[in-house]
Structure 1
Amino acid sequence: MEDDGHPDSAQEPSFGAGSAFQEYLNDPRWALAMVRATVLEAAHPQVGAALIDSSTFVVHPWRRLRNTFRSMQRMFGDDEQARLREAARLNRLHARLSGTDPRGRPYSAMDPAVRAWVVATMFESTVTMCRLSGQPLEQRVMERLYAEFRAYLAAMGDASGHLPPALSEFWPYYDQVVAQELENTEAMRIILYKLFDHLPAPALLGGLPTVWATGRAVVGPLIGAITVASLPESFRRRAGLPEMPGAQTLMQGAYLTVGLARFLPDGWIRADAIADLLALSPDSDDPRARAVTALHDRMRRAGALIRLITPLSPPPEPVSRTDTERSAEEFFREVLDQTGDGYLDWPDLAAMARELSTRLDLDEPEETRLYDAYADWWRELQTALDGDGDGRVSAREYATAVPSLAGPALIKVAEVLFDATDKDGDQRIDADEYRTLFRTAFHRDTAGPDGTVGTDRAYTRGAFVGDFLSFMSGRRRSTAYDPLLTQP
């Protein structure tokens, strides 16, 4: 970290305990700030194109939020080795994201200027968060926070020159990008006007469609309006973004109200605990699952009351746990089409590989082996199913063919995934390894003759591969793979 001109700056850590960033990580206002930062990122044509082509943020927003938060924890945490590993992982991920936007302009997630803009939006949105909450940052605190975000960019291996060295030079840079480079991109419009209005329920509330739909109908448009009102005025005008009457007052009130949660007792508001709770599945062996199940029962009764007193159209009933079969159309939509664009192509399978690599925290070369296995499977699927030769598989092409997907390439995917999960290489997946991948209970323990649970029970290679193939080719629901690949 470069010296910010203050005599104590050399003693102030850029990462971990004592850093300025740690003060905001568990600040509830930061959720609003990061939504705003994401919109500003998506307004950059290169970022917007990458999101449309490769991101799962529409279909799996909670997964992306959880993974982003954990990545920030690793990058800004105390563990230097974890930071280096996470930086290397992010660079490998970004190196795989490149292409051409609809106007023929190339994009690359490794472009240093684009990566600098992403960091700039996080810093500026944090500063704006404090200002809108009526607690603007002091100049010295702002300079220290800026130095930490520059250190984050440096930890990624980018030259520090892509963000101005001094805070005084940052603001002209920021205004110049907003004025000359940001656009009203499709990705930005989806975030503002589709994502919040159609936001899927997190795993915690997945069995409460009526309650979730009712709350989303009220809160979704408000979040969109608050976010639009918080964007730079010059960009709002140029992009033609509508602003509802009273939006500025609503926005400031929202930041002030959410900020009151900071005065709750220590430990009540922890971002990591909230992220884990939202992702909690009823099948999890987490002790909180029992409380969640009881809460679901009460909220279902509330949902029934809502259906009686409101004119809302009834949402589809959740699938019964005893219904293990999927139609071809359901399997295509829920499992294969990870990006939600109605087609199966390489970005969908790459998203699966990316999620699995993130869950298992893979290093090279295991990560590359997994991506290569998925690439081989994509080539096999494309050869078998792409009837019109357009380079992708439509839902109709898939449903018409009703293929058996358990070819050699899919078997290779299962084998590579088993090897990556079997960390100790003993050719068995034990309970801890199972939970790392699935984040649920290890259901394969069986009772011995004396009624005790056998401690030598494990998930063998054959059983793992068989279950994976049954899920991916037989279109059978799975208490393990459904949360992994279908939950939002």
Structure 2
Amino acid sequence: MKDTDSSHRTETGPGSTGPYEDPGRAATGAPAESLFGPGSEFHRFFNDPRWALAVVRATVLEAAHPQIGAALADNSSFVVHPWRRLRNTLVSLQRMFGADDATRQREAARLNRLHSRLSGTDATNQPYDAMDPEVRAWVVATLFESSVTMCRLSGQPLDQRTMERLYAEFQAFLAALGDQAGHLPPTLPEFWQYYDRMVTEELQNTQALRIILYKLFEHLPAPPLLAGLPTVWAAGRALAGPVIGTITVASLPEAFRRRAGLPEVPGAQTLMQSAYMAARLARALPDNWVQTENVVGLLQLTPDGDGPYAETLTALRARMKRAGAFLRLITPVPAQQDGTGGTGGAENRRSAHAFFTEVLDQTGDGYLDWPDLAAMAREICSRLDLDEPEETRLYDAYAAWWRELQTALDSDGDGRVSREEYAAAAPAMAGPALIRVAEVLFDVTDADGDQHIDAEEYRALFRRGFGRTVVDAEGRHSRSAFVRDFLSFMSGRERSTPYDPLLTDA
């Protein structure tokens, strides 16, 4: 097979480490544990600014796989909640590639449970299954290949020894999930043959790929940090969205771009290489400026939080609002029509249509169905880092609520609830199954089982401290108050300081 993008790879030769015997042990005899932790190649890349471009590229290549694309289109909340999805992905990768083997095994078990719940058939009745070992191998392959490509495109191609070391780390990652070694080729030369075959024969221009390239980038919702500044965000996004899309397309393998009919924008290759070079130069910035955890944490800050940067953030947002007012004068941006403005007084109420869009429709497809409620359960399980059986209890409670909603709201019998069906029968939301969801949510949040949620447990769920109105005389949140607040939010369509970030933040 002709090498469609051979400039970023080298064959095994003199001076290289040679092929690895298995994904857990390098040819040098290094044990599997040494492939993880602070000394790994992956750990070095994790805080590299170039890796942001690599992850976007890898996500596009994943979405081009028919099974992965179908699973994303049917189940993922990445379009409506991309920043939430980004944070959860990065936390998972940190756990998997950390030095603590017990944490890695626990995270692998969690990922396997998550993937086991993602199966079905797409719009053309083709099956997909997130536990398919070949599918999981392709996800890992895209991360490895995109890491190699980011180094090449930024003018620092990996040497053979480093490339093989990095490949062994990703093989070990797959092995940690319990997948057999054979699902990724054992040597680098075989990997490139496998990769070329996937690119030229298997990948397709899927719906998920088109959504990422042409909807997500151009309509990316603001992160929590900028959620209250729609004008500032819209102005920046209007410029950055098309640029990011163009850079990503230009970085994809040429053979796939041709097969998928992706546009060839004049100057795109130069723009793409400039972006990678700029990201490379950004590595010279102070470490705390480019650390992935710090950057993502900053984006997740909210003005009504109680963290150490709350006062600074409030002042910064005041200045940005003034800048936004100036921007509206010189470049008016159409006002949002989704009813998200305001948080006080009469504006604290949502219309039924706004509540449906902001809270219930987690996947952004315009309907309420099981994947939307599963996305809520998935986010809560991730925040609380639940194990079995608590995780299954929460999913079961949401599943029972979905069955109740179908019975009460699905008037046309199509298996899903439209915005109009919900608005016409919204009071049916507060049924026994929703009460059960609230009770189970309390139970899994109450980690010590003392029938109260203390400050630490509250912060684990909501990522903020107690508000003045939620605690009792002993400084705790009772079961009855917690259930009451949850039901008020989910059925009364009241905006809520803790619950909005939990279920509505992008």
TM-score normalized by the length of structure 1: 0.96
Report the CA distance between 1:3 and its aligned residue: 3.9
1:451 maps to: none
Question: Is 1:441 aligned to 2:459, yes or no?
Answer: no
Q: Secondary structure at the match of 2:120?
A: strand
**Secondary structure, aligned partner of 2:444:** helix
Q: Please state how far the C-alpha of 1:17 moved relative to its aligned partner.
A: 1.3
Aligned to 1:350: 374
Q: Tell me the equivalent position of 2:17.
A: none
Match of 2:387 among 329, 338, 363: 363
The SS at the match of 1:128 is helix
Q: In the TM superposition, what is the alpha-carbon distance from 1:75 to its structure 2 partner?
A: 0.4
| AA aligned opposite 2:488 | S
Of 197, 212, 224, the match for 1:191: 212
**Matching of residue 416 in structure 1 with residue 434 in structure 2:** no
Q: Aligned equivalents of 1:390 and 1:11: distance in 2?
A: 50
Any stretches of 5+ residues in structure 1 without a counterpart?
449-453
1:321: how far off?
Answer: 3.0
Equivalent residue in structure 1 for 2:329, among 293, 305, 308? 308
Equivalent position of 2:276 in the other structure = 255
Answer yes or no: is 1:177 the counterpart of 2:201. Answer: no
Tell me, in whole angstroms, the C-alpha distance in 2 between the residues paired with 1:12 and 1:397. 54
CA-CA distance at 1:2 after TM superposition: 4.0
Q: CA deviation digits over 1:295-353, x for unaligned, max 9?
A: 11111111111111225434567323332211111111111111111111100000000
**Are the counterparts in 1 of residues 137 and 174 from structure 2 also a CA contact under 8 Å?**
yes
**What secondary structure is seen at the aligned counterpart in 2 of 1:107?**
strand
Partner of 1:480: 498
Q: Is the 8 A contact 2:234 2:333 kept in 1?
A: no
Per-residue deviation at 1:10?
4.5
Match of 1:319 in 2: 342
Q: How far is the alpha carbon of 1:108 from its aligned partner? A: 0.1
CA contact (8 A) 1:51 1:187 kept: yes
Please name the residue that 1:161 is paired with. 182
| Equivalent position to 1:384, from 408, 417, 420 | 408
Quote the residue 1:76 is aligned against.
97
Q: What is residue 476 of structure 2 aligned with on the other side?
A: 458
Q: What count of residue pairs does the alignment treat as equivalent?
A: 481
SS of alignment partner, residue 165 of structure 1:
coil
Name the stretch that deviates more: 265-274 or 55-64.
265-274
1:97 is aligned to 118
Q: Which moved more, 1:53-62 or 1:299-308?
A: 299-308
- Aligned partner of 2:7 in structure 1 is none
Alignment of 1:138-149 (within 5 A): 138-149=159-170
* Alpha carbons 2:24, 2:175 under 8 Å: kept: no
Which of 15, 19, 29 aligns to 2:50? It is 29
The amino acid of 1:354's aligned partner reads R
1:457–1:311 Cα change, 3 Å: closer
Q: In the aligned structure 1, how far is the partner of 2:482 from the partner of 2:149?
A: 49
- Describe the shift of the 1:43–1:311 C-alpha distance in structure 2 as closer, same or farther (beyond 3 A): same
Q: Residues 43-54 of structure 1: matches in 2 within 5 Å? A: 43-54=64-75
Among candidates 271, 281, 289, match of residue 268 of structure 1: 289
Secondary structure in 1 matching 2:128:
strand
Q: Deviations over 1:74-122 (max 9, x none)?
A: 0001111111111011000000000111222110000000000000000
Q: Structure 2: how far apart are the matches of 1:11 and 1:401?
A: 56
Q: Which moved more, 1:461-470 or 1:395-404?
A: 395-404
Letter in 1 for 2:211: I
Name the stretch that deviates more: 274-283 or 215-224: 274-283
Letter paired with 1:153 = L
- Unpaired stretches in structure 2, ≥5 consecutive residues: 1-22
Indicate if the aligned counterparts of 2:367 and 2:418 stay in contact, CA closer than 8 A: yes
TM-score w.r.t. the length of structure 2 is 0.93
Alignment partners' CA distance in 1, 2:343 and 2:475: 29
Separation (CA, whole Å) in 1 of partners of 2:416 and 2:154: 47
**1:21 is paired with a residue of what secondary structure?**
helix
The alignment yields a C-alpha RMSD, in angstroms, of 1.6
> Displacement, 1:205?
0.6
- Tell me how far apart the structure 1 counterparts of residues 443 and 468 of structure 2 sit (CA, whole Å): 19
Q: Which moved more, 1:316-325 or 1:13-22?
A: 316-325
C-alpha distance in 1 between matches for 2:125 and 2:429: 34
SS in 2 for 1:119: helix
2:426 aligned partner: 402
Give aligned-pair identity as a percent.
69
